[in-house]
């Protein structure tokens, strides 16, 4: 069974199934298709299936040409999970959010498994790519597969291989970002390596699915903790009237032992604010308390309030109250040059300013219309920035510093700028660093 599947993966006659066609799944579909595999994409979102079937993209940095080319090469998107029988590999890229108690919500992974289980067959490999706590693959997926009668390691193969997408970063592609592949026995590892080696330049094997799961969490915890540190340094520097961005730039000239991280208005995105708490939750089972993660979470989640307090003070200096002031928020995506608004601190800040009585607008060319978000409703469209428009606001808040803003135009016309990203260097009249 193993050698037959290895042969199919190596000669590209294997059919690849990607489950969850979002920021992680879609680039994988395109990569497998580009190197010559037939790909079937599974999703529960009909709108995504119909867009992809028409050769359209719903992710800003993925162009429609690559989707069209995949469709021409036979890529099909479907919500019919019985078609899982047709594929040789199932790569799971479904969401792993937190529930309202900030505990792991594995419902998407488990629902996917329930839909797939009756359609699994001998001679397939399954790879979980969703970020999760150590033990998920072995404790949740493995028993569900084995309950179908399949024997993992003999007639079915299971690995965990975390995704390392950095949407909007032009320096790295799915192909060039090294990929970790963890398996709990050698047969699974051999098939897992074959699955990825055809499409990724460097595949790094690790000795267990748990080690691979923890590797991904370490990467994201490393970021969350260091961003927490630099956010705390920002507050200290601000009180001491020192520009933290000048300090970071200076420290970054050290050629060893220092890695620059940049402060901001708070953490955003689907990964860094969420993933660390997957480990926190699992560590409790072992009687352990993840103090660095909790502390970073505490510091990072206080940053939107820090920015708001700076904005309130800055308006106050101009003898204005937030209540009744016109505030223009620049950048509502969670990071620069992308259209992804998940967990964006800009939205939290807009909501808080509105509850304080501010008349809030936003400008973001990546998000032309404020989307539907469960907790936050704004009927707003992105404001086009002109001299008059900018001058008409009491305050302009730089929340996400997209490269396509005209910062000179903004500085020339704004009555007051609150800059939470260190976009403006040095001290300037009417610019408050936050
Ligand atoms: N976005 C990133 O940059 C990134 C990077 C690394 C890891 N990850 C991880 O990858 C996973 C997926 O993230 P994403 O950003 O691609 O999410 P996403 O929300 O963009 O995409 C997930 C897709 O899964 C679909 N889906 C939901 N339930 C399903 C089900 N039962 N069956 C089939 N499809 C289903 C959704 O409709 C959606 O299209 C998460 O675990 C995330 O933490 C994301």
Q: Is 187 in the pocket of ligand 1 (CB under 6 A)?
A: no
**Residue whose pair of structure tokens reads 């404020």 in the numeric block:** 370
Q: Whose CA is nearest to atom 28 of ligand 1?
A: 108
Residue 92 pLDDT grade (very low, low, confident, very high; cuts 50, 70, 90): very high
Q: How far is the CA of 128 from the centre of ligand 1 (A)?
A: 11
The answer to whether residue 240 scores a pLDDT higher than 90 is yes
Residue nearest to atom 13 of ligand 1 (CA): 95
* Global confidence as pTM: 0.94
Catalytic residue among 93, 181, 188, 271: 271
Does the pLDDT value for residue 85 go beyond 90? Answer: yes
- Report the nearest-CA residue for atom 5 of ligand 1: 165
Strand bridging mode 179-182 / 203-206: parallel
Contact 76, 107 (CB under 8 A): no
Ligand 1 mutation pick, 106, 111, 270, 277, max ligand atoms within 8 A of CB: 270
Give 166 or 368, the one with higher predicted confidence. Answer: 368
**Ligand 1 binding pocket includes 24 (Cβ within 6 Å):** yes
DSSP structure class, residue 372: P
* pLDDT tens per residue across span 331-353: 999 999 999 999 999 999 999 99
- Give per-residue pLDDT as tens, 29-62: 999 999 999 999 999 999 999 999 999 999 888 9
Q: How far is the CA of 270 from the centre of ligand 1 (A)?
A: 9
Q: Which residue matches tokens 């206080």?
A: 302
Backbone angles phi, psi at 55, to 5 degrees: 80, 25
The pLDDT, as a whole number, for residue 169 is 84
How many angstroms separate the alpha carbon of residue 97 from the centre of ligand 1? 9
424 Cα: distance to centroid of ligand 1 (angstroms): 35
CA-proximal residue: ligand 1, atom 33 (nearest): 43
Distance separating alpha carbons of residues 40 and 29, to the nearest angstrom: 8
Mutate which of 21, 24, 59, 98 for ligand 1? The one with the most ligand atoms within 8 Å of its CB, which is 24
Indicate if 181 belongs to the active site.
no
So what's the pLDDT on residue 61? Answer: 86
State in Å: Cα 24 to ligand 1 middle. Answer: 6
Question: Could you read off the pLDDT of 110-157 as tens digits, one per residue?
Answer: 999 999 999 999 999 999 999 999 999 999 999 999 999 999 999 999
- C-beta of 28 in contact with ligand 1 (< 6 A): no
**Do 422 and 242 meet the contact criterion of CB atoms below 8 Å apart?**
no
Pocket test for ligand 1, best of 93, 130, 267, 275 (most atoms within 8 A of CB): 93
Residues whose CB is less than 8 angstroms from the CB of residue 223 and which lie 6 or more positions away in sequence, other chains included:
261, 272
Yes or no: say if 397 and 311 are a contact pair by the CB < 8 Å rule. yes
Residue 64 is predicted with a pLDDT of 95
Sign of CA dihedral 372, 376, 379, 385: negative
| Nearest atom within ligand 1 for CA of residue 340 | 1
Residue pair 423/397 in contact by the 8 Å Cβ criterion: no
21 lines ligand 1 (CB under 6 A): yes
Distance 266 CA to ligand 1 centre (A): 22
Q: Which atom of ligand 1 is nearest to the CA of 20?
A: 24
Task: Tell me if 179 CB under 6 Å of ligand 1.
Answer: no
If you average pLDDT over residues 262-286, what whole number do you get?
Answer: 95
* pLDDT at 270 (0 to 100): 86
Ligand 1 contact via 22 beta carbon (within 6 Å): yes
Task: Quote the percentage of the chain above a pLDDT of 70.
Answer: 100
- Between the CA of 96 and the centroid of ligand 1 the distance, in Å, is 7
Task: Please tell me what DSSP assigns to residue 236.
Answer: H
Report which secondary-structure segment, H or E, holds 412: helix 407-413
Q: Is the pLDDT at 204 greater than 90, yes or no?
A: yes
């Amino acid at each position: 069974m193993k050698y037959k599947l290895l042969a199919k993966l190596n000669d590209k006659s294997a059919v690849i199934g990607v489950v969850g066609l979002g920021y992680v799944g879609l680039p994988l579909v395109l990569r497998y298709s580009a190197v010559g595999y037939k790909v079937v994409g599974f999703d529960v979102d009909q709108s995504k299936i119909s867009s992809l079937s028409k050769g359209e993209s719903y992710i800003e940095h993925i162009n429609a040409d690559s989707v069209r080319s995949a469709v021409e090469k036979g890529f099909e998107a479907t919500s019919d999970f019985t078609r899982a029988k047709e594929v040789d590999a199932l790569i799971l890229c479904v969401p792993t959010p937190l529930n309202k108690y900030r505990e792991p919500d594995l419902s998407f992974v488990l629902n996917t498994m329930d839909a797939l289980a009756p359609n699994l067959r001998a001679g397939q490999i399954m790879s979980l790519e969703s970020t999760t706590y150590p033990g998920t693959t072995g404790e949740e997926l493995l028993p569900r597969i084995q309950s179908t009668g399949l024997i993992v390691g003999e007639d079915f193969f299971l690995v965990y291989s975390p995704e390392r997408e950095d949407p909007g970063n032009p320096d790295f592609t799915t192909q060039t970002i090294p990929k970790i592949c963890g398996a709990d026995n050698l047969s699974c590892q051999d098939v897992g390596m074959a699955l990825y080696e055809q499409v990724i330049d460097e595949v790094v094997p690790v000795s267990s699915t748990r080690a691979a799961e923890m590797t991904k969490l370490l990467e994201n915890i490393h970021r969350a903790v260091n961003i927490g540190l630099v956010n705390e340094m920002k507050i200290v520097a601000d009180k001491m009237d020192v520009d933290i961005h000048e300090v970071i730039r200076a420290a970054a000239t050290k050629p060893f032992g220092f890695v620059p991280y940049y402060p901001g208005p708070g953490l955003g995105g689907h990964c860094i604010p969420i993933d660390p708490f997957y480990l926190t939750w699992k560590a409790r089972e072992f009687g352990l308390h993840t103090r660095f993660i909790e502390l970073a979470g505490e510091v990072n989640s206080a940053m939107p309030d820090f920015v708001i307090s700076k904005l309130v003070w800055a308006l106050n200096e101009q003898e204005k109250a937030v209540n009744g002031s016109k505030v223009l928020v620049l950048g509502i995506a969670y990071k620069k040059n992308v259209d992804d608004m998940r967990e964006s601190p800009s939205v939290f800040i807009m909501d808080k300013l509105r509850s304080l009585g501010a008349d809030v607008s936003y400008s973001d060319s990546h998000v032309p219309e404020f989307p539907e978000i469960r907790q936050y409703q704004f009927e707003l469209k992105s404001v086009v920035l002109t001299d008059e428009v900018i001058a008409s606001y009491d305050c302009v808040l730089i929340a996400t510093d997209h490269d396509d803003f005209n910062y000179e135009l903004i500085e020339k016309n704004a009555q007051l700028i609150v800059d939470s990203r260190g976009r403006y260097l040095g001290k300037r009249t009417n610019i408050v660093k936050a």
